[in-house]
Amino acid sequence: MLTPRTTTGLPAAESLQAALALIDTEARALFGQGKVADYIPALAQVQPRQFGMAVALVDGSTYQVGDAHTPFSLQSITKLFTFVLALKAIGDDVWKRVGREPSGAAFNSMVQLETEHGIPRNPFINAGALVITDILTTRYAHLDYALLGALRRLTDDPELSWNAAVAKSERDTAHRNMAMAYFMKSHGNFANPPELVLDNYCRQCATEMNCTQLAQATMFLANGGRDLGRDGRPDEQFLSADDARRVNALLLTCGAYDAAGDFAYRIGLPVKTGVGGGIVAIAPGVGTIAVWAPELDAKGNSVLGAFALERLVQLTGWNHT
């Protein structure tokens, strides 16, 4: 367990940085136990043996180790941000079109759509994220810029963008996602042309951040919906405290594909994973943790990322706060 702690109850800088250095050393010993996502050709080109980790605390301090400043493709982590935008836009009406239960199936499975009449189990599997993107496509003429605008504000980085080559690679191979979109449209759960929604969805998934930016961008979920002001910008109530709590609950139960139960057991924090190798975790009242390592396990989650988060909660006890 980390010691000492400051008067705020947060760990002292020296002990937290030492813990990150230890985790970095231990995690890198696991290189080679997974493989990069190869079903998206552009992601198959990512150099596998990389590891970065960043922690942002609610007092405004940040800590990094390894490749924490290397940009990577967020992929399914963006489903968290689009869901939050939809929740802000239409509130509880979102639940008329998507559920909030764990799926227990692969993130790109179509099986449940057949038996559940085109209503996806939750907004973090592909089918659910497509419905969320459809909702936002109706609301925004240029969803890609609306999403980037929110993310640039949360990271204080006006240059944040999406990778056009990755977006095209995804769009060219999005056959299963297109099939899901048309199937849901046949059940009346899709308002826009699937082609347009898929364009938006693939650009969304191709958004790039580094670990430090991702930890900062999710701070509102650790801080009662309130984003911390930086560089002279005041704090902002980005999401209500009640909605932040609800989003965290959904991340805990549904944020790691069909490994959500294992993540809850091993790590005990709300998380969102992505096949780009990133994972973001929320420690309510404490801070956020972002980790990136491109080598994935069979369920599409980062091998080193899951290990690093488990080690961090062992060292900090943040899953008991």
- Is residue 114 annotated as involved in ligand binding? no
- Is residue 210 annotated as involved in ligand binding? no
- Is residue 257 annotated as involved in ligand binding? yes
Catalytic residue among 55, 84, 247, 275: 275
Is residue 296 within 8 A of residue 302, CB to CB? The reply is yes
**Residue 263 CB partners (closer than 8 Å, separation 6+):** 255, 256, 271, 273, 301, 306
Is residue 259 within 8 A of residue 180, CB to CB? The reply is no
Whose CA is closest to 75, among 195, 172, 204? 204
Indicate the Cα dihedral angle 136, 142, 143, 149, nearest 10°.
Answer: -130
Query: In this structure, what are the phi and psi dihedrals at residue 247, rounded to the nearest 5 degrees?
Result: -60, -45
Catalytic residue among 46, 63, 73, 76: 76
Catalytic residue among 79, 94, 247, 271: 79
| DSSP H or E segment with residue 53 | strand 52-57
- Is residue 63 annotated as involved in ligand binding? no
- Is residue 177 annotated as involved in ligand binding? yes
Whether 257 sits among the annotated catalytic residues: the reply is yes
Rounded CA separation 202/262 (Å): 28
Whether 58 sits among the annotated catalytic residues: the reply is no
Listed in order, strand segments (DSSP E) in 62-195 are: 62-66, 72-73
SS3 278: strand
- Is residue 170 annotated as involved in ligand binding? yes
- Is residue 46 annotated as involved in ligand binding? no
Catalytic residue among 36, 55, 103, 201: 201
Burial of 238 (0-12, 13-18, 19+ CB in 10 A): buried
Is residue 2 within 8 A of residue 316, CB to CB? The reply is yes
Catalytic residue among 98, 103, 166, 257: 257
Whether 280 sits among the annotated catalytic residues: the reply is no
Whether 79 sits among the annotated catalytic residues: the reply is yes
Whether 302 sits among the annotated catalytic residues: the reply is no
| Through-space distance between the first and last CA atoms of the chain, rounded to whole angstroms | 13
Is residue 263 within 8 A of residue 256, CB to CB? The reply is yes
Binding-site residues sit at: 76, 126, 170, 177, 201, 257, 275
**Active site members:** 76, 79, 201, 257, 275
Binding-site residues for substrate sit at: 76, 126, 170, 177, 201, 257, 275
